[in-house]
Amino acid sequence: MSILFEETKQPRKKIKSCNNLSKLQSNFSSSGEAASPGDSAHNKHESDQIDLFALAPTKKGLKNSGKLIAQKKSGNSEDKNDLLFGGKSTPAKKKNILFSDTPKTLFDDEDDNKPVALPRKPLSQNAPKNRSNEIDLFGDSSNIKPKVPPTNELQLFYDENVNIHKYALLTPVFDTDLNEQQKIDRIVRSANSNTVIMSNFARRIVFQLEQLDNEHQKLESQIMTLGVPIGAPFKLRGLYSLKHNNTLKVNELMANHIKRTQNLVQYIGKLLDIASNNPKDREVKLNHQLLESELNDYSKETKLQLVNKLQRTVKTKIKQEKKEILSSTEKLSKITKLCASMFREEEHFFPDFGEAESLFATVIEQMTGPQREYIEKSIVELTNKPNLSGKILFAVASNFLNIHNIHTDNLQYYFLLFARYFFSRVFIMGNLTLPIIPKISNSNKTNDTESLENFVMKVKLILKHSPVALGCQENFLPNKYKTMALQVFPKDNPYKDAIDIFSSLPYYTCPIDFCRAMHEGLKVVQNIASEISFKEKYEATGKVYAKSDHLLCLDDLFDITMITMLIANPIPVYQLVEAFQPYIGGLQMTSELEFAFTNVHALMQHISSINVEKFTKDAKLRLEESMETDPLNILGKK
């Protein structure tokens, strides 16, 4: 705010204040000393212009203004509208002060020829810092802006939490019959009453959450059974599994909905607490009926509605599948036909494609009474007497055919089916008792973990070396692979088919299927090694030999078989070999299957018995010898 007049140090003539600025400027113009009315009041380029808001006027200009005032004293109008601040015109006192605390004076000395130079400052710097106390010069001088009262805590909390506006409303108390204290008492009583309602409602919410939690735990405990009827096929089992997962999801979504309501109750409780402890002029009106009605209203839960829709579809499918469940007689007839179509007479074997095995499992689970008890006791006996495993399976299969009037020509099918069923059950029992290592439960070695850790350490060591360092001197690998570390062998190496077969070995739970897969892998290794040996000999001599002369026996392929097994990861294979070894003799398998297991068992034993220090030293010597023979590694680049 600009200062119009300052305190004078010496007495001056009495002057009258005028509030009509346009008339004042017009009078200055008539005296010939002031600027024209069209010029700006702040134009600094006109030296003879008088600006009421300028901070450096001359004495000459002030004398002109004195003349103007003298003219007004000599008979001009005393109209009240001509006064600057309103009211009657009064003679000026010796000290004409607009603001009592004004630090600067407009007239500094008596020299009429010396202008008064005051530093020019922006108007904003002269304005008071606290604008709430600012005076409007062109209005009522007593018009001071009132201070803003501090924000109400209750209103502030209410405004910050818009999610509770639907259920709680702040209303002023307009009861003329009540004084201020009575109004406050009414606000407190209302808040306390609503707090009791919300407390009871919160207890109900906690109770519902506890019920849902108990139901969730009960559902999780049923994950192994799922309420599947005895003898249900895999498709029906899958539907029951989906139904169970949907039930868990519904439980979770319902709990989330209730927890959101619980959060609302907590915020409303805080609002009521503020209203009770710090009452002002607002009362909390609570719509608790709406809040309670929405507690069990899940219509707006989109995910929950989708899961419920899916659950209704699953239940319909389950009813349809139950009607299509075959009887035991129909299943056994279908099983027998499936096995006959897959059976390989020369191998006395048929592959496990799952269909016949799943149907057979449902037939076993539908059995009750002494028949089922006999089968369960036989499984326990097999685990305790692995050397008699073949005889136990033969007796159970024969008894089964006799009960169901199936011809004995089909005994070879059902012997294999019972073997797969028994070992799948035994394997699960072993996992439950020894979860660290997937062994069959007959293994009770105290050093299983130490043995496995020792085997893993040696496998990692061997994988860092090349076939040459391992002592593989036969021409069963192309030259470029002989000096390559096993852990960096490319996937498209010549033995990739055998590696794929060896990689599938950990997925067989029946020793018969395991040995069959191992036998297939050994035959693939034999064929590939013979092919490479034939090709290497032809390139070295240029002579053509009969391929039958290069058909290698499995005893000659121990090193290349070990390399192939190492690349395929022998660690889980080692665990299965240790688990199956007691059963191999008792199952009385064919000689080729027993030979396949003997080979893989020898490989595992060879790796686990390696002397690390000696192996490292020998590998270094072999590598140095290889470099002396082929220092430029020319052979390795082929």
List, for residues 62-73, the tens digit of each pLDDT value: 444 444 444 444
Q: Please tell me the predicted confidence (pLDDT) of residue 545.
A: 60
Q: Please tell me the predicted confidence (pLDDT) of residue 292.
A: 87
Rg (C-alpha) for the chain, rounded Å, is 52
Examine residue 220 and state whether it is found in any structural domain, yes or no: yes
Compute the distance between CA of residue 445 and CA of residue 555 in angstroms, rounded to an integer. Answer: 31
Q: How confident is the model at residue 255 (pLDDT cuts 50, 70, 90)?
A: very high
Q: Please tell me the predicted confidence (pLDDT) of residue 329.
A: 82
| End residue of a domain, out of 324, 352, 379 | 324
Does residue 570 carry a pLDDT above 70? Answer: yes
| 496 HSE (CA, 13 A, CB side) | 6
Q: How confident is the model at residue 549 (pLDDT cuts 50, 70, 90)?
A: low
| Integer CA distances (angstroms), 565 to 463, 475, 498, 591, in order | 11, 18, 9, 22
Q: How confident is the model at residue 447 (pLDDT cuts 50, 70, 90)?
A: low
The verdict on 320 and 345 lying in the same domain is no
The verdict on 479 and 595 lying in the same domain is yes
Full residue range of the structural domain in which residue 526 is found: 447-628
The closest of 373, 559, 565 to 459, measured between CA atoms, is: 565
pLDDT digits (tens, 9 = 90+) for 585-636: 999 898 999 999 999 999 999 998 888 888 888 878 877 776 665 544 444 4
Q: Please tell me the predicted confidence (pLDDT) of residue 230.
A: 59
Examine residue 269 and state whether it is found in any structural domain, yes or no: yes
Compute the distance between CA of residue 419 and CA of residue 509 in angstroms, rounded to an integer. Answer: 10
Number of residues in the chain: 638
Q: How confident is the model at residue 236 (pLDDT cuts 50, 70, 90)?
A: confident
Q: Please tell me the predicted confidence (pLDDT) of residue 256.
A: 94
Q: How confident is the model at residue 212 (pLDDT cuts 50, 70, 90)?
A: very high
The verdict on 411 and 453 lying in the same domain is no
Q: Please tell me the predicted confidence (pLDDT) of residue 615.
A: 83
Compute the distance between CA of residue 309 and CA of residue 561 in angstroms, rounded to an integer. Answer: 55
Examine residue 123 and state whether it is found in any structural domain, yes or no: no
Q: 3-class DSSP state for residue 367?
A: coil
Biggest CA pair distance of the chain: 149
The verdict on 420 and 479 lying in the same domain is no
Q: Please tell me the predicted confidence (pLDDT) of residue 504.
A: 94
**Interacting residues of 120 by C-beta distance below 8 A, sequence separation 6+:** 55, 56
The verdict on 582 and 452 lying in the same domain is yes
Higher-pLDDT residue of 9, 242: 242
The verdict on 396 and 503 lying in the same domain is no
Q: Which of 57-61, 420-424, 478-482 has the lowest mean pLDDT?
A: 57-61
Examine residue 506 and state whether it is found in any structural domain, yes or no: yes
**Interacting residues of 286 by C-beta distance below 8 A, sequence separation 6+:** 167, 168, 169, 194, 197, 198, 268, 272
Q: How confident is the model at residue 401 (pLDDT cuts 50, 70, 90)?
A: very high
Mean pLDDT calculated for residue range 273-280: 88
Q: Please tell me the predicted confidence (pLDDT) of residue 211.
A: 93
pLDDT digits (tens, 9 = 90+) for 79-101: 444 433 344 444 444 444 333 44
The verdict on 301 and 355 lying in the same domain is no
Higher-pLDDT residue of 536, 402: 402
Mean pLDDT calculated for residue range 523-547: 78
Cα–chain-centroid distance for residue 426? 38
Any idea which residue has 């579809």 for tokens?
313
Burial class (CB in 10 A: 0-12, 13-18, 19+), 224: exposed
The closest of 322, 318, 325 to 244, measured between CA atoms, is: 318
The verdict on 484 and 388 lying in the same domain is no
pLDDT digits (tens, 9 = 90+) for 456-508: 999 999 999 888 888 876 678 888 888 889 999 998 999 999 999 999 999 99
**In 434-487, which residue ranges form alpha helices assigned H by DSSP?**
448-463, 479-482
Examine residue 211 and state whether it is found in any structural domain, yes or no: yes
Percent of the chain at pLDDT > 90 equals 36
| End residue of a domain, out of 279, 294, 324 | 324
Q: Please tell me the predicted confidence (pLDDT) of residue 327.
A: 75
392 in Cβ contact with 378 (< 8 Å)? yes
Examine residue 352 and state whether it is found in any structural domain, yes or no: yes
322 in Cβ contact with 229 (< 8 Å)? yes
Cα end-to-end distance, the chain, whole Å: 96
> Is the Cα torsion angle 553, 555, 556, 560 positive or negative in sign?
positive
Mean pLDDT calculated for residue range 412-429: 89
The verdict on 257 and 168 lying in the same domain is yes
Q: Please tell me the predicted confidence (pLDDT) of residue 51.
A: 43
Examine residue 527 and state whether it is found in any structural domain, yes or no: yes
The verdict on 299 and 391 lying in the same domain is no
Does the pTM of the predicted model rise above 0.75? Answer: no
Does residue 332 carry a pLDDT above 80? Answer: yes
Burial class (CB in 10 A: 0-12, 13-18, 19+), 385: middle
Q: Please tell me the predicted confidence (pLDDT) of residue 8.
A: 42
Higher-pLDDT residue of 11, 484: 484
What interhelical angle do 234-277 and 180-221 show, nearest 10?
A: 160
Look up the CATH number of the domain holding residue 617.
1.20.1050.80
Mean pLDDT calculated for residue range 155-160: 90
Higher-pLDDT residue of 5, 425: 425
Compute the distance between CA of residue 522 and CA of residue 526 in angstroms, rounded to an integer. Answer: 6
Q: Please tell me the predicted confidence (pLDDT) of residue 279.
A: 86
pLDDT digits (tens, 9 = 90+) for 15-35: 444 444 444 444 444 444 444
Q: How confident is the model at residue 250 (pLDDT cuts 50, 70, 90)?
A: very high
Q: Please tell me the predicted confidence (pLDDT) of residue 521.
A: 95
Q: Please tell me the predicted confidence (pLDDT) of residue 17.
A: 45
Q: How confident is the model at residue 547 (pLDDT cuts 50, 70, 90)?
A: low
Examine residue 594 and state whether it is found in any structural domain, yes or no: yes
| End residue of a domain, out of 299, 324, 349 | 324
Q: Which two tokens stand for residue 470?
A: 């391992």
The verdict on 424 and 452 lying in the same domain is no
Domain count, the chain: 3
Q: Please tell me the predicted confidence (pLDDT) of residue 342.
A: 92
Compute the distance between CA of residue 457 and CA of residue 610 in angstroms, rounded to an integer. Answer: 11
Cα–chain-centroid distance for residue 45? 72
pLDDT, mean over the chain: 75
Q: Which of 267-276, 393-402, 472-481, 626-635 has the lowest mean pLDDT?
A: 626-635
The verdict on 356 and 293 lying in the same domain is no
Percent of the chain at pLDDT > 70 equals 67
Q: How confident is the model at residue 150 (pLDDT cuts 50, 70, 90)?
A: very low
Q: What's the 3-state SS for 231-247?
A: CCCHHHHHHHHHHHHHH
Mean pLDDT calculated for residue range 397-416: 92
